[in-house]
Structure 1
Amino acid sequence: MRIRFFIILLICYLSGAEAQIRFTPALVYQNIAEKGYTTQEVVTRLANYYYALHLYSQAQTWYEKLVTTVGYMPTAIDYYHYAHTLKELGKNKEAQKQMERFTSVSRLFFTDFIKTAVAPPNPNNRDYKELIGLVLDGENGKEIEGAAITLFDAQMNVFLTTKSDSNSFFVLSDKQSQALFEYGYLEVVKPEYEVSTTPLVFQKTGEMQQIIQLDPLVQEVNTGDNLAITFEIENIHFDYGRLNIRYDASVQLAKILVFLEMNPMVSLDIKVHTDSRGDEDYNMKLSESQAQSIWQWLVDKGIQTKRITAKGYGETQPVYDCENDSSCTEEQHQANKRVEFIIK
């Protein structure tokens, strides 16, 4: 009886272990890049990953690609991280050049932001400003204690520093400084997470609230999870009236392909949905055809047929009830029109 009890416990343990899959998103993106899909998203994710780990030689490779590739649109923070990376590698002349680019892009960003703000900052207002924040795990929403918080001015000079407390809260007030804060950047750093750097503009005096979500360098997925959410795949687009996988769709599907290649014991259920616009029967047939196209693309790339199933659901499983099409916004229709990749 005792042996049987322990066997049952072992089976339960093993079943639970199989359901939990820990993986490093950046390694998925590294493999995607090696397959030739070096989109701005892929390049940025890799640059930020190596930057967070202080692996500056690798970070330099990807930041350089990010800021030099025609068609990419790096942010001010991308230039700043690249400059900091070069400085850490002792390349001070090039680091200064990238800081000048950061300053230029940053100035344009804040100028445009302030022009469109509801209430632009008043530099003559001497009332204090207070920033109250919360730092959470971007994967599971758990509170993060001990994150290093730095408030920089627009030139990335340190303005104020603190750490998130045991409840993940932090408070920064320009009462703590001799100067007033109008706009700049909030940086949040915690080991085992990507670095978060957010531009801030105080449109009025008093209190500003910020919730900072840090992306973990290692994530976990379980049976029933949707990889489209994990990899931020909003949709797989097809040309109108056609079923071929477009290049932009193949870039998204490459995330699923690489994940399956790196986790050979994982199986997926592909579910394709349409919005409620158009004929119901047509939508059902269209979603089924698209599901089979996605299935075939993965099989052609080497994924075993027994590991993936695919089915179209038309408009039968909406996120938003849009039976009366006019009752839904365009964003809600787009949310209904989606592809899910469910771990089985």
Structure 2
Amino acid sequence: MMNNLKNTIKLFVVALVYALSFTTNAQQLGNDTNYFQLSPRVGYDFPSYNNNTPEMDYKGGLDLGLSLDYYWNTFGLGFDFDYIKNQPESTFQTDNLYDVGGTQITTTNLSEDGITRIFYGIGPNAQFRSNTGRFKTEINTRFGIASIKGGRTLLENANPGNEILNFHAGYKDSGVFTFKGQVRFTYMLYNNFGINAGAYYMRHFGAKELVDPMLGVSAAYYDTVAFTGPTGEPGVVLEQGGINLREEACDCDISSVGVFAGITYKFNKKEKEEVCEVCGEDHMPRCCTICGCGVTVTARDKYTSETLPFADVVLTDLNGNIVQSGTTNSYGVVVFNDVAEADYIVKGKLYDVSLEETSIQKTEFIACKKDGNSIQKVIEYGDLNFILKGNVVECNTSEGIQGVDIKLRDKIIPGQKNTLSDNSGAFIFHLKQASTYGLNGNKDGYFSNEVEVATNDYNRNQSLFIDLEMCVNPCGQAIKLDNIIFNLDKWDILAAARPDLDYVVKLMQDNPTISVEMSSHTDSRGSNPYNQTLSQKRAESTINYLMTKGISRDRLIARGAGETELLNRCADGVTCEENEHTINRRTEFKVICPQ
């Protein structure tokens, strides 16, 4: 491997010296120095694999690449990335093939998995530029590593037994030492944009083959000899005992050459204008004493380093007078322009909690005016509580509800807070660590279930914010209870119905001002009077259950609807399937809010 590497390097050193013999003039003719260029490309790769299987060939394939180069003048340093796809090809003869017994093998099974090679490399560059600077020839050398995966190939006799004829386990190797040499010709169409084309040679040293865990070999293939078939046609026959098994993986080289074309973008340096670096006015070389400096303030959380949007920030003088104020953007940053040279205090608040303040010294303005950079400051949120960022919407919609009275109840240490949602439905609460809270929303014409938030489920060192969406239901809306089912001609409450009824109990406990109408419905089978009476008894049963849970009777209404409110076409005299009748047999509850 080392001899191959030495010979390859010698070849490119000779080419490099030959090209650099022209660069003396290039250095005088060209005036491009100290610049980056980016060159994406697409090409075609022609591989040569040295491995354990002589009955195998490899087809060319796609090469996608990217070069990033930095040139001081004629010399430079570059980085290359290549993504290459190749396809293995079994060359084992299958036409007029006979097994060791002289029986013709007429059908074979062949699978060939593609190979992916990914290369990263870095190395020196040299370039020769024409008199105009538009055309240049570049020689790039790269040393790096590659990953090589895929290439499993299996050819089998499809007759009974599935005899292996030709096999290679493929590759799964990473960190393969690789050399690449490349010649690229570039023509600049504009000052910073051009097209390129070229060729490369790449060699992977000691790419290790896989050993198949089932077969215990890296490669296997049959030897064949010439054979004349029964009708005189020439063919080949498998040699008796001629299967070759390669049990040890080969650390063999892989090489390839390729051609490519692409584009080149050159990052030209901007000419420095003779203007003031602080305020941009043309009064150089006099120092900018008439303008102020920019101050950039970033608000972030002390424990998580999260940036904090919508934080209020002020600059005050040493007497506490506000000089400038602003609100941080979505990246947690606010910029104050033209701040006069003085001593300042930087203060901030996030949702009425003060941030840890910092100061700006008058001496910091000297560096600002000299370098033209703004003064950078950070203020931190040091409160250990969480911030609950809530949003209240109408249930089953995304529409935010304004003016909902949100009640926050601490379930560990008794206490309650209230706030109103804004015009988009948003609201804020500060939550202590290691506590559990219940949230409930109230608004005329709406009711809600209690939502529980346990701050034990969150880590203050990982997140400051807890996001929550809660919903409120409009009053008077019928809500179906899916599990309240009665036996035929019965109205006793079954065990399966209790969770749904307990849900109604909890809802009424959380909303002590509401009343509930429980309505029972039947299908159309049976007489109207019978269905009316049965549904009323069932509604009364649900009411009685709620009363056993402590709900006052004057907050409950029992309504038997019978078959008067069918949800589909299944009225008297209409033939329907059982599942259609089931839709009409239901129990619903409707919340009645106080006027």
Q: Where on the TM-score scale, by shorter chain, does this alignment land: which range?
A: 0.3 to 0.5
Higher helix share: 1
**Which structure has the higher relative contact order (CA within 8 Å, separation 6+)?**
1
TM-score (norm 2): 0.23
